[in-house]
Amino acid sequence: MPVKIAPSILSADFMNLERELARIATADLVHVDVMDNHFVPNLTLGLPVVRRIVEVSPVPVDVHLMIEDADRWAPEFARAGVASVTFHAEATQAPVRLARELRSLGARAGVALRPASPVEPFFDLLPELDMVLVMTVEPGFGGQSFIEGTLPKVRRTRDAITAAGTDTWLQVDGGVSRETIARIAQAGADVFVAGSAVYGADDVAAEIAELRSRAST
């Protein structure tokens, strides 16, 4: 399956979001980090801004919810028309019920795991999930360095997806760069979030192409 590059607008200029979205028109998805200052110690943006992003984005919108009470809020993002909603395993009481609700609202359903959270409880639930997000930094901030110790988890997740025979995407988020992306791809990831690597580049389109090529070899 071809790899997907999902630039994170966390590293974009929030005062010029429309222009920043236009700069990543060659990407596969745009990754939007929603933080509530409770689940993570940072606050970003919420539903009204996401609704406008859906209207102007040249690529499908991939929302990463780093918020408490995902059961209450995640469906609202699906209703906003995003392509995928990823909630944290640590922030839901009922992941399968929530994933089913997101799918019924027309969104892809993803579950995200902090670096220290086990992924194994989700292996039997893969048919209910369109994506698993293995966090490769502690969620909350862009620009952190990749945690090497998360690679075995990526590998185990890929093996489980292969064994289950589902078309679940395996996303990684945090510290993805020219230096790390090939290793992460070899471990089995196929959707790569990159914030500072993409928006920190002089030529954003060239950086997206470079990341895609390094992930594909």
Q: Binding-site residues for a divalent metal cation, please?
A: 31, 33, 64, 173
Q: Which of 4, 23, 64, 212 binds Zn ion (CB under 5 A)?
A: 64
- 123 contacts: CB under 8 Å, gap ≥ 6: 160, 164
CB atoms closer than 10 angstroms to residue 73: 18
Tell me the number of residues near Zn ion by CB under 5 A: 3
Question: In this complex, which beta carbon is closest to ligand DX5, that of residue 104 or of residue 145?
Answer: 145
Q: Binding site, residues?
A: 8, 31, 33, 64, 140-143, 173-175, 195-196
What is the residue type of 156?
A: R
The CA R_g of the chain, rounded to the nearest whole Å, is 16
Residue nearest to ligand DX5 (CB): 195
Using CB under 5 A as the binding rule, whether residue 62 contacts Zn ion is answered as no
Q: Residue 46 or 164: which CB sits closer to Zn ion? A: 46
117 binds, among ligand DX5, Zn ion, none (CB under 5 to 8 A by kind): none
Long-range (24+ apart) CB contacts under 8 A made by 57-61 are 57/21, 57/30, 58/21, 58/22, 58/24, 58/25, 59/24, 59/25, 59/27, 59/28, 59/29, 59/30, 60/28, 60/29, 60/30, 60/84, 61/29, 61/30, 61/32
x/- track of binding to Zn ion for residues 170-199 (CB under 5 A): ---x--------------------------
Selection from ligand DX5, Zn ion, none that 7 binds (CB < 5 to 8 A by kind) is none
Is 33 marked active-site? Answer: yes
- Supply the minimum distance, in Å, between the C-beta of residue 14 and Zn ion: 15
Task: Write phi, then psi, for 29 (nearest 5 degrees).
Answer: -150, 160
Nearest to 65, CA basis, from 49, 44, 48: 44
* Residues found near ligand DX5 in the complex (CB under 6 A): 8, 10-11, 31, 33, 64, 137, 139-144, 173-176, 193-197
The active-site residue, picked from 28, 62, 173, 190, is: 173
Query: Which candidate in 33, 62, 130, 190 is catalytic?
Result: 33
Catalytic residues: 33, 173
Binding site for Zn ion (CB under 5 A): 33, 64, 173
